[in-house]
Structure 1
Amino acid sequence: MTATVSIGEFARLTCLSVKTLRHYHDIELLEPVEIDTGSGYRRYSIDQVAQAHLIRRLRRLDMPLPEVKAVLAAPDDDVRHAALRAHLERMEAELERTRSVVASLRSLLTPSAPIAVEYRSIPAFSALALIEVVSRDDIGPWCQAAYPLLHQTLAAAGIEPDGVDGATYSMEFFENDLGEVVAYVPIPAAAAIEPHERVSVIELPARRFAIALHEGDFEDFDRTYGALGSHVAEHDTALAEPVRERYLLSPDDTDDPTAYRTEVCWPIGRL
């Protein structure tokens, strides 16, 4: 018969406090094998030690309790290992984001050179576009899905892009962290594309822009926006219209996850 121990002894075996063990019992994460009906004392099996150790490590990795429950309830090792791998991948992504923010914060401590601003008039052009209301938190995954869809649609129609990928961001996107975003790929004016439930052919209007080139980490994108917008405020009159971005290079094009090369186009006048 497997030995059982008191909750205090089990706390010593597992390095989990009695308070924590009681909480795990209450939420049905780690339940004692015996509860004395008279005293209410809990007893645990020594077979539960390994499970307790796993729970402790998962919590130290900030795995949410519902996910810990799912790992413990996994029907086999393959399902359990897949859940663990998914969480580790999320943690690695978060670690990379933290490193990026730290590097960006360090760069704020170093005086930056004045931003180089180019003025350019861009004529109207046709584009295949995906237009949706997107939150700031969702913009990364949304873009990662949008451009493959646009390019797949063009490839199916046998049409080559007529310029680099781009996007426009409405004022509401910046003001409310939620607003219309237009992901687009320029196409020849005479291109014929079958209607699609999510994409459409649009014409972007002719505009004059103040343009700055952002190179480097996405985490520093706000600095380019800040510097360019400040330049426009000092020297020009901004239109209350969507800012355009032109993606000359993205991390998808290289092995460098921080390799952004984007033209930020601030609308300053109509042609």
Structure 2
Amino acid sequence: MNDKVEYTLLEWNIQGAGGTCDYSTPKFVVDTIIGKNVDIIVLVEFYTGGNFDYVRKRMQNDYYIFISPFVDDRNQVLIALKRDKFKEGNISNVITIDPMDIKLPEYLQINIKTEQEEVFSIIGTRIKTSGLKEDREAQFKFLDNKIGSIAKVVCIGDFNVNITKVDKLLTSADVYGPKTQDDARWSFVHNDGGKVGIDLIAARKIGILKKEKDDLSFKEGYEMYAKYDWDFLNKKNGFENLTSSDFLPAFTGKPNHAILLGSFKL
């Protein structure tokens, strides 16, 4: 009997902003991702704009790359799967939806069969914030129905609300993120200084592993299901003296969310 296989994952909202201001993916974004050496990469607010050749060349030797359809002024989702962890023949379906529909989230789904004959899906998603409240509710309803229709699935993305709200809206999944009580951790800072953990993992019939630690969790003696990583925030990458507690200006072409890291076993 084969032992279960562990998979590491990374999700990052890189603020492509639908190609605003002639968006070009910064090289440090791709270099940072490659440096994390994870099995599954999910990029939201991705945009196939300037510098895409660099993205492709840096990733294609180590990863299979899948991207939702390109539509001008709309975000895409990129999912990349490590070549030494997944076989191309075991990727059975790549599923996308209409990126223009305001009642649907940004969405890309890949169905996979592992060498251990486990079948599961990976979904990359972002809840759109334009439109009315009922449009956002419709997006969550769609996502909840999708997740509920899949036997085993890991859905990773920017849900644009905190874990408490996502847990109520996605009744078909268990929702995971870094331990965040007392605003100890966050993945985004609003322009009024409000800090929120909105990059999360929703999983159905797949257990997310607890092992991600930072200084606070190590000191207090507990493990987390996931980690928010702000290590990319430095002068070398053009952030000057900004810290993870600062509002990162919109439409600069640089990410304004933390990297979400986690893992699971199948």
Q: TM-score, normalised by structure 2?
A: 0.22
Q: Which has the higher contact order (CA 8 A, sep 6+)?
A: 2
The structure having more radius of gyration, on CA atoms, is 1
Q: TM-score, normalised by structure 1?
A: 0.22
Report the structure, 1 or 2, having the larger helix content: 1
